[in-house]
A and B are shown apart, each in its own frame.
Chain A
C-alpha cells in the first residue's frame, strides 16, 4: 500500500511522559487549583467515610450485645436443664451461652427491684432455669430463636426481635446513605476537576488543534493529559490522606478527653490505614484521570 510509511505507531513514550510532567509545572497555577479542589473533595469524602465507619462500628457493638433468654421446661431438674447448654452451643449464630438457675434468677430479680423486701417471700419455683444466649449477629435472630424453641426441654424463648430488626434496618440505611453520599461527592469532585482542567486546557486548545492537524492520534494527545491528571490526582490523594489522618486523630483524641463515660469508642485510624490509602489513591486517580478525559473530549473534535 502506498501510504504504508505513514502508519507509524506512536512509540515516543519518554516524550509523552515528559510532556505530562511538564504540563503540571507549565500550568502551575491551574495545577495548584486542581490539587486544592481535589484535596478538599477527598477530605470531605474521607471524613464522611470515617463517620460512617464509626457509626457502623457503634451499631455493630450494640448489635453484639443482643441476647435472648431460653427458658427450660419446669419438669427438668437442674442437672437436666444444664445439659441443654451443649445443644445450644451447636446452633449456628450462637456466640455464647450462660446457664442461670431459678435461684440465681430470683436473686438477681429481687436485687433489681427498688424495694427488695416486697419479694422476700417469693419462691424460686415460680421461675424457670434459663440460659442467657448471646448471638453472633442479630440479623439471623428470628431463625436462631426458632431453632432454640425446637430444642427438647426448652419451654420458651424471649427475644427482642423488633430491636434486632431495628439494628438491621439502621445498618442498611447507614450503608445506603454512606454509599449514596460518597458517590455524589465523587461525581461532584469529578465535575469540579473536569472544569478546572478544562480551564487549563483552554490555554492549550491551539496546541491540540496543531497536534490534530499534523496527524497526532487522539490517544497520543490524551496520554500527556492522563499523566498530568494522574500526577494531580496522586498528589491530591497524598495531601488529603495525611490531612485526614491528622484531623481524625486530633478529633478522636479531643472527643475521648470529653467523653469521660466512654460512651463512644472510635475506630483507630491505624485500623483502616490500608483501606484508606487504597481509597484515597483510587479516588484521586479516578478523579484526576477521568476529569482530564472528560475535559479533553471536546477539544479533540477537530
Chain B
C-alpha cells in the first residue's frame, strides 16, 4: 500500500518538485503515472524508493513511514518494492540466471531457495531457456524481462516500473505491458510511469497525471484526459 499526504519536496536549489501531493494506492492496484518532463514523476518515484526524503507531508510505503525511516532500515523497506528501469540496469558480466539470483543473494537468501525460485520466475517472464545467456546476447525486450524477473524474484508487494517500454518497439512494449498486467493479476501492486499514450489507452487502468508537482487528474478512464 502506498499513501502520500500533502507531500512537498523542495530541493536545496529552491526547486519545488512536489507541491502538496496526495496519492493513495491500494494493495493489488495497477496505476499508470503520467506527466510531462519536470512534472515531479521522478521525484515521486525517488520518494517511494527512499532515495529522497519529503520536505513535508507523509509518505507511507508498505507500512514503512519513509519520512521517519532510519537509514539502517531502508534496505529492508526496499525488499518490499521491486524497481524496473527504462535502461534495464543489468549486470553485463553475469548470466540471466545470475542477474536474477543476485537480487536474492544480496538479501541473504539460501542457495536452495534461489535454485527453486529463480527458474520459476524466469519461466513466468518467458526466459526459462535463456538463463545461461549474458544480457548483451538478448534483445531489448528480453533484457527488460530479465529486469522484471529480478524485480519480482523477492516477491515484493509493489513493483515500480520507470518507463519500462521507453527503449522498446511497440510490439515488445505491448508484450512487456501484458507481462506486467499478468504479474498484477497475481496480486502485486504495479506503478508504471510512462509517456506512451496508446499503451495507456489500451489497458483500462487507473491513470494518475501529474503536472507541476500536483495531481491534475486521477481516474479509470485513461491517459486521454491528460494533455501535455
Contacts and interface: CB of A to CB of B under 8 A. Distances in A.
Interface of A: 1-3, 6-12, 15, 26, 206-207, 209-218, 220-221, 302
Contact of B79 (A2, A11, A215, A218): A215
A7 B78 CA distance: 11
30 contacts: A6-B76, A6-B77, A6-B79, A8-B79, A8-B107, A10-B107, A10-B108, A12-B105, A12-B108, A15-B105, A206-B89, A207-B91, A210-B89, A210-B91, A210-B102, A212-B75, A213-B49, A213-B78, A213-B83, A213-B89, A214-B106, A214-B107, A215-B75, A215-B76, A215-B77, A215-B79, A215-B154, A217-B72, A220-B106, A220-B108
Q: Which of A2, A6, A211, A218 has the most CB of B within 10 A?
A: A6
Contacts of B105: 12, 15
B89 A214 contact: no
Contacts of B72: 217
B51 interface: yes
A214 B62 contact: no
A25 to B, nearest CB: 12
B103 interface: yes
Which 9 A-B residue pairings sit nearest by Cβ, starting from the closest? A215-B79, A216-B106, A10-B108, A215-B78, A214-B103, A6-B79, A217-B75, A215-B75, A6-B76
A7 B108 contact: no
B227 interface: no
A3 B91 contact: no
A214 B154 contact: yes
A121 B78 CA distance: 104
Contacts of B82: 214
Contacts of A215: 75-79, 106-107, 154
Given A209-B89, A214-B150, A3 B107 contact: no
A2 B65 CA distance: 13
Given A3-B62, A215-B77, A216-B75, 4 more contacts: A11-B108, A26-B93, A207-B91, A213-B49
A26 B75 CA distance: 27
Contacts of B49: 213
Contacts of B109: 8, 12
A8 B79 CA distance: 10
B144 to A, nearest CB: 15
A215 B108 CA distance: 10
Contacts of B89: 206, 209-210, 213
Contacts of A12: 105, 108-110
Contacts of A1: 63
Contacts of A211: 102, 106
A214 B78 contact: yes
A207 to B, nearest CB: 5
A64 B37 CA distance: 82
Interface string B95-109: 000000011011111
Contacts of A6: 76-77, 79-80
B64 interface: yes
Interface in B132-179: 150, 154
Contacts of A10: 106-108
A143 to B, nearest CB: 58
B64 to A, nearest CB: 7
A212 B93 contact: no
A178 B30 CA distance: 68
A268 B127 CA distance: 66
A220 B82 CA distance: 19
Q: Which of B63, B89, B106, B154 has the most CB of A within 10 A?
A: B106
